[in-house]
A and B are shown apart, each in its own frame.
Chain A
């Protein structure tokens, strides 16, 4: 904490000022300026124009679809992520390394490829295309495809947050619970879950942010049908391509608002988790 007063590990004043200035400049150009531009452009023609762009059937449909996709993808990945992390952290089995690699696959693969995979599988000429058509089911260019693509790209977030936490905690508490007669379900709810809750919440928030913001994979499977298969990010793109800048930026600012809410939630969770860790540490200090 007192690095500034330690001459051994501290640079000279000039170097410090230069480094901080460089960091601030970079942050300003890359992060703050674009956000300011979005808000500025969105409100360029006044609040009325901003509201008109949002209070419009296609924009509201896009908002609804974005929230729907997130509302399905996030709980699904919450369950998958906990299962995957549980399997990786608590058990030894053949192919474990492969499973970990597979969990990371959505991070490694371009989202566009992810979308294409689903087109190849469920599209009209895809593997399951004819079978789906026979039962009058639509996946590609419809909501199920958008949800699938969103689930795919957001899969790693929860599992990736949980695996290190669960590995660090080991299995002692679960084993004790078993010897005390607890069933697997009771052990999960009463022992495992309370131990991972902060990491889990953090993973869910990141997962949600990505689910609402995903563009590439969703773009491939959506078909861009206005009012039907457009999510907010796709809606922004369409408006922008039509030179409807005020509406495009207004919609973008809505997306930004959702992101800001997510970030506030994330910092709250982090603060709570840090406070819990500090309290535990303090108790330990006090005791020894």
Chain B
């Protein structure tokens, strides 16, 4: 399903978050919203989800105007940076939640829900952990539960807000490769927010660079690297190149230093 964002404008008190942003996400695409913190990428994602309201502009799903539709009726999947798992429910109950809250006439039978949960547990490689509670899982496992929970309701579009931001570098690399494979096998449309250029270049087939509430450039990772459209994008890529040089060294954390520096300029 395609997502069309048309001239979306959003202002918070004393802060103009989005300046008439327009963006097309093709059906089946995996698009990254990339930029420094405060650039408006998360706000844009939340507006697509229906968790925030745009002051002006429209959001269309497959040409259908969703602007006034409540988040619960948009049929989207949303994955938070900090998982937002239901703490008091087991992994199984977390994953089944979206199915069990359906109106009675649409709700699958108990057995059908159990079968679907089993299938999803297999998909996110957490077989046997269905009876655990979220606190008993590692960060990477929790994020996979969150993903399975979002996928359970067969969303038309998957929205991910810094999905790997709270994980350590090794798990992050594993998970993003896994997300790419999952995307390729299931063909859903995804829009994900990140401030990590490596992540965007590695996972997405389209990268949208944002800065101060505006889109600086949009294109394939190759096109972006080959021809940065604005000084901001060039600085952003230079910072990442510097970071890439240091990836070889064990101090992966230190590598974000120059990247951050580039971002703040």
Question: Is A194 positioned at the interface, with any CB of B under 8 Å from its CB?
Answer: yes
Consensus secondary structure, chain A interface: helix
Mark each residue of chain B from 74 to 110: 1 if its CB lies under 8 Å from any CB of chain A, else 0: 1111101010111110000000011001100000000
Question: Is A195 positioned at the interface, with any CB of B under 8 Å from its CB?
Answer: yes
- B-chain residues with CB within 8 Å of residue A195 when the two chains form the complex: 87-88
Q: For the complex, what is the distance from the CA of A283 to the CA of B80, rounded to whole Å?
A: 22
Q: For the complex, what is the distance from the CA of A283 to the CA of B137, rounded to whole Å?
A: 9
Are the CB atoms of B88 and A182 closer together than 8 Å?
Answer: no
Q: For the complex, what is the distance from the CA of A284 to the CA of B70, rounded to whole Å?
A: 35
Q: Which of A181, A190, A283, A284 contacts B72 (CB 8 A)?
A: A181
- A-chain residues with CB within 8 Å of residue B247 when the two chains form the complex: none
Question: Is B49 positioned at the interface, with any CB of A under 8 Å from its CB?
Answer: yes
* Whole-angstrom distance between the Cβ of B66 and the nearest chain A Cβ: 13
Mark each residue of chain A from 35 to 54: 1 if its CB lies under 8 Å from any CB of chain B, else 0: 00000000000000000000
Q: For the complex, what is the distance from the CA of A178 to the CA of B159, rounded to whole Å?
A: 14
Question: Is A175 positioned at the interface, with any CB of B under 8 Å from its CB?
Answer: yes
- Max chain B C-beta neighbours (<10 A), residue from A180, A182, A183, A186: A180
Question: Is B185 positioned at the interface, with any CB of A under 8 Å from its CB?
Answer: no
Are the CB atoms of A191 and B86 closer together than 8 Å?
Answer: yes
- A-chain residues with CB within 8 Å of residue B49 when the two chains form the complex: 179
- B-chain residues with CB within 8 Å of residue A191 when the two chains form the complex: 86
* Whole-angstrom distance between the Cβ of B48 and the nearest chain A Cβ: 11
Are the CB atoms of A181 and B87 closer together than 8 Å?
Answer: no
Question: Is A287 positioned at the interface, with any CB of B under 8 Å from its CB?
Answer: yes
Q: Which of B51, B86, B88, B133 contacts A178 (CB 8 A)?
A: B51
Are the CB atoms of A181 and B153 closer together than 8 Å?
Answer: yes
- Which residue from chain B places its CB closest to the CB of A176 in the assembled complex? B84
Q: For the complex, what is the distance from the CA of A173 to the CA of B138, rounded to whole Å?
A: 18
- B-chain residues with CB within 8 Å of residue A183 when the two chains form the complex: 72, 101
Are the CB atoms of A176 and B78 closer together than 8 Å?
Answer: yes
Are the CB atoms of A182 and B101 closer together than 8 Å?
Answer: yes
Q: For the complex, what is the distance from the CA of A113 to the CA of B184, rounded to whole Å?
A: 70
* Whole-angstrom distance between the Cβ of A170 and the nearest chain B Cβ: 9
Are the CB atoms of A173 and B86 closer together than 8 Å?
Answer: yes
Are the CB atoms of B84 and A182 closer together than 8 Å?
Answer: no
Q: Which of B88, B102, B138 contacts A181 (CB 8 A)?
A: B102
Question: Is B229 positioned at the interface, with any CB of A under 8 Å from its CB?
Answer: no
Are the CB atoms of B136 and A286 closer together than 8 Å?
Answer: yes
Are the CB atoms of B149 and A173 closer together than 8 Å?
Answer: no
Are the CB atoms of A175 and B84 closer together than 8 Å?
Answer: yes
Known: A172-B84, A186-B101, A191-B86. A178 touches B72 (CB 8 A): yes
Question: Is A166 positioned at the interface, with any CB of B under 8 Å from its CB?
Answer: no
Mark each residue of chain B from 35 to 70: 1 if its CB lies under 8 Å from any CB of chain A, else 0: 000000000000001110000000000000000001
Known: A172-B82, A183-B101. A194 touches B135 (CB 8 A): no
Q: For the complex, what is the distance from the CA of A283 to the CA of B135, rounded to whole Å?
A: 6
Q: For the complex, what is the distance from the CA of A169 to the CA of B78, rounded to whole Å?
A: 18
Question: Is B71 positioned at the interface, with any CB of A under 8 Å from its CB?
Answer: yes
Question: Is A288 positioned at the interface, with any CB of B under 8 Å from its CB?
Answer: yes
- Which residue from chain B places its CB closest to the CB of A285 in the assembled complex? B135
Q: For the complex, what is the distance from the CA of A282 to the CA of B2, rounded to whole Å?
A: 45
Q: Which of A172, A182, A286 contacts B97 (CB 8 A)?
A: A182
Mark each residue of chain A from 143 to 172: 1 if its CB lies under 8 Å from any CB of chain B, else 0: 000000000000000000000000000001
- A-chain residues with CB within 8 Å of residue B86 when the two chains form the complex: 173, 176-177, 190-191, 194
Known: A179-B78, A190-B101. A173 touches B84 (CB 8 A): yes
* Whole-angstrom distance between the Cβ of B73 and the nearest chain A Cβ: 8
- B-chain residues with CB within 8 Å of residue A180 when the two chains form the complex: 72, 97-98, 101, 149-150, 152-153
Question: Is A76 positioned at the interface, with any CB of B under 8 Å from its CB?
Answer: no
- A-chain residues with CB within 8 Å of residue B84 when the two chains form the complex: 172-173, 175-176
Question: Is A280 positioned at the interface, with any CB of B under 8 Å from its CB?
Answer: yes
- Max chain B C-beta neighbours (<10 A), residue from A179, A182, A191, A283: A179
Interchain residue pairs A-B with the least CB separation, the first 3: A180-B98, A172-B84, A179-B78
